[in-house]
Structure 1
Amino acid sequence: MDKVKNIDEMPKKSPLSLQIDLKKFEKATEEEKKQQDVMSESVSFFRDGMRKLMRNPLAVGSIIVLLLIVAMILIVPHVVPYSYSQIISVNGKRDKTASNMAPFQYSDKEQAYIAEGGKVFPHIMGTDEMGRDYFVRVVYGTRVSLTVGVFAAIIVLIIGVLYGSISGYFGGKTDLIMMRIVDIIYSLPDMLMVVLLSVVLREVLNVDQFPALQKIGTNMISLFIVFGLLYWTGMARLVRGQILTIKQNEYVLAAKVSGAKSGRIIRKHILPNCISVIIISAALQIPSAIFTESFLSFIGLGVQAPMPSLGSLANAARAGISVYPYKLIFPSLLICLITLAFNLLGDGLRDAFDPRLRR
């Protein structure tokens, strides 16, 4: 019997035969290899977005910078033996020569104390005009600015998502009335509202009875209220626009037919499909709130003295900019660094989670 020289010439085997089909062991073609490359592991939307975010060097660098800043504001107050309102003193006595010192400089009394064998923690960024450690004040100012930014973003997120979801889902007259309210609020000048609320809250609130409010100050309380009243309108419009598109999909109609309530449809079916836009907008809202707080503190409408803020520190340093320029450099640099880091992170989140930008 002649040997079979080619696989194609091999006779067809019987279905009941135990003979191995050699065609199953042929090498894959180039087209089959490309199909295998296209196939990838099934992952969730959030996990896929985080993978793409981690491949963005600017976004990863921004995350590292923000983590370092957060670590600084949490660790430094426990390491540096000064407080933001403490005037430098030696042996329990106020040091009047410790004002307006340059970075890593010691006053005459501190030098004498060191010569006697004492230890003095260095003034990393010098001191201010009242003899307070400037590094600690910048750290506390950064803490205040970040707190305001995160708190404002949470307010905007909660109010804007709830308001926009209701308006976009129900539509009709409900949407018309709610959007006109948004237009009215959007037209209010935020600076005028801050000034008016500061004056009104000074008369209404008795901060002497509330130590926590006394530390924060009525200006900061009015700033939080303004964020809650004014700055959620952009988020509400964005969420409404997304929901107007998403609610036309078939799975929303299927949920309605199955008897699901409106709240459940919004919470389980609509909001998860526009979560990427919500995350991106919330991330970009933080630097905007930080910049607004710094600006208001710069003109004297921010936190109440002696509590520092990056804006109030920059305003205080403006008077002696020709003699002590470093006092303006430190808070201004941190404002720029935090704002830039959040903006780059927001851009990275947009590139990673926005389905329209995916390739």
Structure 2
Amino acid sequence: MGISTEPYSPDKTPKKHPLSLQLDVSKFEKATDEEKKQADVMSESTSFFRDGMRRLMKNPLAVFSIIVLIAIIATILIAPRVVPYSYSEIITVNGRRDKSATNLAPFTYSKMEQQYMAQGGKVFPHIMGTDELGRDYFIRVIYGTRISLTVGVFAALIVLIIGILYGSISGYFGGKVDLIMMRIVDVIYSLPDLLMIILLSVVLNEIIKPTGNGLLARLGTNMISLFIVFGLLYWVGMARLVRGQILTIKQNDYVLAARVSGAKSSHIIRKHILPNCISVIIISAALQIPSAIFTESFLSFIGLGVKAPMPSLGSLASAARSGITTYTYKLIFPSIMIALITLAFNLLGDGLRDAFDPKLRR
């Protein structure tokens, strides 16, 4: 077979033999400048957290829950500065106790307040009415919401810190260390929460007797025991979750490379393992807050919450049971607040799971 000496010309399309398996080059054309520009797709560099937040903002339920939580937090911070009443203050008019200001309906005034207003005085309205002792109900619900959110966030932090440390050590080292540590978790997981809170309340009432007008004296030992129980019992779920993630992640090649390079175990856990399971940690922490709030409300409902006269959403709902048929609004307001907070955090937790869990991405 001879070799053609004819010079190659790009404009000349070579002919294809009918029985040849080669591609028909006549079907391929050069791309135009406009088509080349369309092929140049430059994506913006982003991080895992920024990409997750972008996905979260596209979830309407998660955005709604964030707006609700921001509104609630803003209200509990601003309202005590605007409303001239205190959560333990019995309403007075001109320095005299107003005995007619008990069990007022929302946006109503007592007889003494009406007389005072007729004389030209100004009285701040009772937005949610008053309770059986003549205290403004709105400010008591606001302070009760403060207590519930504080308990929820504090419990989530305790669970986060203890659970991550315990689960990381157990999952990374494995073997006998993991076996012993997980058996301890099983024992703690089997303890009844309510019984532990009652026992700790009795013990702490004898050991800790706060005096004065400090925070501990206002909260009472029942609330202190609640915090201790959260620290002792509720971290086991987070520890199990973190351990399971680390058992999978530590088999990856980059962890082996870090070990070979001489990196310490604490450095490997902190820099290579935990960042890769941060999505699970964020989601679990977000879902822990409504669980803690509901637990605190339940315990306050049965009388194991904050010390009177400090209000809690659970204690307000419990006190409203006696007049549920006559003063229904007393039960409706704290119940709505509990429902809003728990629903918002649950929707936010679901949104975080959808945004930060790579397995759920489409």
What is the TM-score of this pair, normalised by structure 1? 0.91
Corresponding residue of 1:136: 139
Q: Which amino acid aligns with 1:292?
A: T
Q: Which amino acid aligns with 2:230?
A: F
Q: Which amino acid aligns with 1:293?
A: E
Separation (CA, whole Å) in 2 of partners of 1:77 and 1:10: 86
Q: CA deviation at 1:36?
A: 5.6
Separation (CA, whole Å) in 2 of partners of 1:292 and 1:23: 69
1:129-157 Cα offsets, whole Å, 9 max, x none, are 00000000000000000000000000000
**1:230 paired to 2:237:** no
Residue in structure 2 matching 1:267, options 260, 266, 270: 270
Residue in structure 2 matching 1:28, options 28, 31, 35: 35
Corresponding residue of 2:189: 186
Q: Which amino acid aligns with 1:78?
A: R
Q: CA deviation at 1:28?
A: 2.5
Q: Matches of residues 77-116 of structure 1 in structure 2 within 5 Å?
A: 77-116=80-119
1:305-329 Cα offsets, whole Å, 9 max, x none, are 0000000000000110000000000
Separation (CA, whole Å) in 2 of partners of 1:347 and 1:131: 41
Corresponding residue of 1:240: 243
Measured at CA, do residues 90 and 26 of structure 1 come closer, stay the same or move farther in structure 2, by a change above 3 Å?
closer
Separation (CA, whole Å) in 1 of partners of 2:117 and 2:175: 76
1:15-41 Cα offsets, whole Å, 9 max, x none, are xxxxxxx95645528xx95x666x632
Q: CA deviation at 1:258?
A: 0.6
**1:49 paired to 2:52:** yes
Corresponding residue of 1:19: none
Corresponding residue of 2:301: 298
Corresponding residue of 1:354: 357
Separation (CA, whole Å) in 2 of partners of 1:190 and 1:42: 47
Q: Partner of 2:88: helix, strand, or coil? A: coil
Gaps of 5+ in 2: 1-8, 14-28
Measured at CA, do residues 129 and 200 of structure 1 come closer, stay the same or move farther in structure 2, by a change above 3 Å?
same
Gaps of 5+ in 1: 1-6, 12-21
Measured at CA, do residues 79 and 209 of structure 1 come closer, stay the same or move farther in structure 2, by a change above 3 Å?
closer
1:260-304 Cα offsets, whole Å, 9 max, x none, are 000010000000000000000000000000000000000000000
Separation (CA, whole Å) in 2 of partners of 1:115 and 1:96: 19
Separation (CA, whole Å) in 2 of partners of 1:272 and 1:153: 19
Separation (CA, whole Å) in 2 of partners of 1:128 and 1:319: 12
Separation (CA, whole Å) in 2 of partners of 1:257 and 1:83: 63
Q: CA deviation at 1:206?
A: 1.9
State percent identity of aligned pairs. 77
1:201-239 Cα offsets, whole Å, 9 max, x none, are 000112126833111100000000000000000000000
**1:205 paired to 2:208:** yes
Q: Matches of residues 56-75 of structure 1 in structure 2 within 5 Å?
A: 56-75=59-78
- Matched positions, count: 339
Q: Partner of 2:191: helix, strand, or coil? A: coil
Separation (CA, whole Å) in 2 of partners of 1:90 and 1:27: 80
What is the TM-score of this pair, normalised by structure 2? 0.91
Separation (CA, whole Å) in 2 of partners of 1:98 and 1:27: 78
Separation (CA, whole Å) in 1 of partners of 2:159 and 2:31: 60
The root-mean-square deviation of aligned C-alpha atoms, in Å, is 1.8
Q: Which amino acid aligns with 1:190?
A: D
Q: Which amino acid aligns with 2:11?
A: E
1:97-116 Cα offsets, whole Å, 9 max, x none, are 00000000000000000000
